[in-house]
Amino acid sequence: MRPRWIPAALGLLLVPPLATPARAAAPQQVTIDGAAAGRTFDGVGALSAGATSRLLIDYPEPQRSRILDYLFKPGYGAALQILKVEIGGDTNSTDGAEPSHMRTPSDLNCDRGYEWWLMEQAKARNPRIKLSALQWGAPGWTGSGQARPTVWTTRNIDYLTSWLGCAARHHLSIDYLGGWNEAYSDPAWYVRLHQALRERGYGGVKVVADDSFNWDVLKPLAADADFRAAVDVVGQHYVCGYLSDYLRCPSPDTAQALGKPLHASEQGSLPYDSGAAPLARALSRPYIDGRMTSTINWSLIASWYDTMPFQASGLMGANEPWSGAYVAGPSIWATAHTTQFTRPGWRYADSASGYLDGGGSHVALRSPDGRDYSMIVETVDATAPQRLRFSVAGGLPDRPVSVWSTDLSSPDPRRWFVRTGTARPGDTLTLRPGHVYTLTTTRGQGKGRAVSPPPAPLRLPYRDGFDTYKAGSVPRYVSDLDGAFEVAPCTGRTGRCLRQVIGEQPVWWNGWLRHPVTLVGDLRSWRDYETEVNVRLDGDGWAELLGRVDGQYADAVSGVHLRLSDTGAWQLYDENLRGQDATLCVPSDPSCAGATAPPSEPPVQRRTLATGRTPVGAGTWHRLGLGFSGDRVTASLDGVRLASVHAPVHASGQVGLAVAPWRHAEFDDLAVRPAAPSGDARYLPAQLLSATGTGFHHGYEPRKAVDGSVESMWHNEWSPRAALPQAITVDTGRARPISQVTYQPREDGNMNGIITRYALAASADGVAYTTVATGTWPLDAARKTIDLNGVRPRFLRLTALDAGGGYASAAEIQVGVPAG
């Protein structure tokens, strides 16, 4: 019989049994036994939480539908089997705040927020998809306590069941409900929740506990029979580790002995490109190591501004609604290797779940009727090809199977999710390193072919008077970090305004910010501009206009702030992510002399640039203004200049609005218009730049040093450690005069990788390089500048010869061209 050859170029080769050389090692044998023990598979899913899906709803058609198809449509892309969403609480839950459906005991709005829409879209594409929900924070009225409010109250149970009622209004049936994200367990609360669900007609909802870490919930589960009876599923976060390679994913024996389903109820937080290989491990190894039957990836989609943390973490990326651009990368296809070939309710075959001798793992699942099976094999740990022979037993069909392959080591989409041929039980397969394979008897798989439009900047001028939106809505592209900014009728003037509506501290999750902030704009292309907004304070407190916002972490919103208080006092200040007590050090600032290195803690540093007082107060409208031109910042009030200062810390960034903790304020006629750059150089937009490096740790790719965000960074490989020198090369797109290169070190307070001795080389063709500058820098987070003269390259290579800790990193590299 003629053998069925599978092209080696696609990563898998079928070896005819008689053609195997005698000296070759015996293939590893795997038997998929339909009668073997195995737990019930509950599905693979992803999380929409922490405002990570905020920008998706603002996408234009047809791009928005195509993105949703890649996520949910069976036989097209990720084909997710579970969608887990946040029950919004108007408080920061990682990358922003999600709206609450019930802000007071008498308020109920079942259409508030975008998670309802997202669940409806998921169900429309896949009616079988399971829905799960969890709260990160909640309105203050539902909680208890002052110093650290909690949700362990009867009021909060009422709040959750009202949310289930809203879901029913949207014809959505919720399958799983958790307690409080990554907080300790209150067993008595879970018992009351379980009882309330059954009394109020939600007995089919499965209770998950406790969506936290380290399996700490096992002790109270063992000690409390009522708690144990109230919990249907034990869900734990980051069972494979956090921001790592996810090599092992164990659970304690006591967890496996409970007789309850075990879920990896949040895993991930890695980018949609470089995180695909760890994701492939995390989809199989929780079952192999810990008998966990579901994995939920954080996040569903990276559809939030890069200003916020964990940029690009998701199954795909979509954070340019104005251009419609999106990225369906390898994480989609790593997921599809499980989801397109299985269904919840299938059972694992323990006989075929384990590790490959040459690196990698395999799991097999079979349908309840035994007519179909699939085996998922990943070789992302492997360093050399290895052979595997598979067979079937226990009544499974002995017929040819389709073989699908994804080369996770390749950036070429043509090598992702390819049907490479067929095999049959008894065949020996040669598995290539860095791949995911699926062997299956099922049919109906497919690979979506929709292509994204190219990325593009959000062009200026930008203006929003908020009059075209209905009351209660969120304006296009506006994204709340904390609190809630909604369209409402203006006070004291006609038309509609943007109003901060939360008047009570919510029960928070992470404790970040704890005052209302919202952002809009293009982090990368908004550099030199003037922005203005009308503002009215209802009472005491303050309101702010922010500009060049380039990062947010913990309590810091990195950018320039103009604050106006009800007393008439105003303050212009800079906030950044360089450490609470670190000196803000720039070459032109005399205060840099003798500066010490910043501490390791990253919270926030603030430097006052100017202050004053004007005869204004609450209850009246005033117009705040900020202008940015090169390193010059101007501030104005009602058209009168308040200050003009030199502040060379933030090169580009978004516009923001902020309000004192839980005060009400209104904003109107937000405008951003371009301004001419000042000085001898202007910086190339981040969209024009690309970068490569001598190496990187996954999640810290070279492109993150030219993405316009100081929150992200390039970092060379540290596991295993790569020695200096290390280099990053920036491609400007074409040869052009270059007058300046700036190097922004990491701003998180960690000194590792901050370059202290460097060489800069230039090239017109990317092959022949000439050194154009060398020098040394202090070990601090200040932005460094290299001035150039008479240089006209396309490529610039910055080499770290010495750096903090013996590593190399860069938060941002900018390329300046002559201003003329």
And the tokens for 555? 């309590």
DSSP assignment, residue 671?
E
* Distance separating alpha carbons of residues 431 and 420, to the nearest angstrom: 12
What is the chain's alpha carbon radius of gyration, rounded to the nearest angstrom? 28
Query: Nearest CA to 585 among 647, 543, 535, 664?
Result: 647
And the tokens for 51? 């405002």
Q: Is the Cα torsion angle 189, 136, 282, 447 positive or negative in sign? A: positive
Torsion-angle region of 521 (φ positive above 0: left; ψ -120 to 50: alpha; else: beta): left
Bridge partners (DSSP) listed for residue 643: 635
- Torsion over CA of 520, 521, 524 and 527, rounded to 10 degrees? -110
Catalytic residues: 182, 266
And the tokens for 366? 């079979």
Residue 8 backbone dihedrals phi, psi, to 5 degrees: -65, -30
Cα–Cα distances (Å) from 675 to 561, 590, 630, 720, in that order, read 18, 28, 10, 46
And the tokens for 546? 């922010």
Is 87 in a helix, a strand, or coil? Answer: strand
Query: Nearest CA to 363 among 650, 41, 607?
Result: 41
Burial class (CB in 10 A: 0-12, 13-18, 19+), 238: buried
Query: Nearest CA to 387 among 40, 811, 15?
Result: 15
Tokens 């199977």: give the residue.
401
Cα–Cα distances (Å) from 47 to 283, 301, 313, 644, 777, in that order, read 15, 8, 11, 45, 42
Tokens 């290195």: give the residue.
597
Are 230 and 191 in contact by the 8 Å Cβ rule? The answer is yes
Bridge partners (DSSP) listed for residue 773: 760
And the tokens for 278? 């760890």
Are 796 and 732 in contact by the 8 Å Cβ rule? The answer is yes
- Say whether the peptide bond before residue 62 is cis (omega within 30 degrees of 0): yes
And the tokens for 337? 């290797």
If you write DSSP's letter for every residue of 461-472 in order, what string do you get? PEEE-STTSPTT
Cα–Cα distances (Å) from 122 to 83, 86, 306, in that order, read 8, 15, 25
* Distance separating alpha carbons of residues 205 and 201, to the nearest angstrom: 9
Are 550 and 559 in contact by the 8 Å Cβ rule? The answer is yes
- Rounded to 5°, the CA angle 397-402-405 comes to 140
* Distance separating alpha carbons of residues 626 and 609, to the nearest angstrom: 13
Residues 172-208 as b/e (b if ≥16 CB within 10 A, e otherwise) read: bebbbbbbbbebebbbebbbbbbebbeeeebeebbbb
Tokens 């234009």: give the residue.
60
Are 481 and 518 in contact by the 8 Å Cβ rule? The answer is yes
Q: How many residues would you count in the chain?
A: 820
Greatest pairwise CA separation for the chain in angstroms: 94
Is 605 in a helix, a strand, or coil? Answer: strand
DSSP assignment, residue 541?
S
Helix axes 63-72, 115-125, angle to 10 degrees: 70
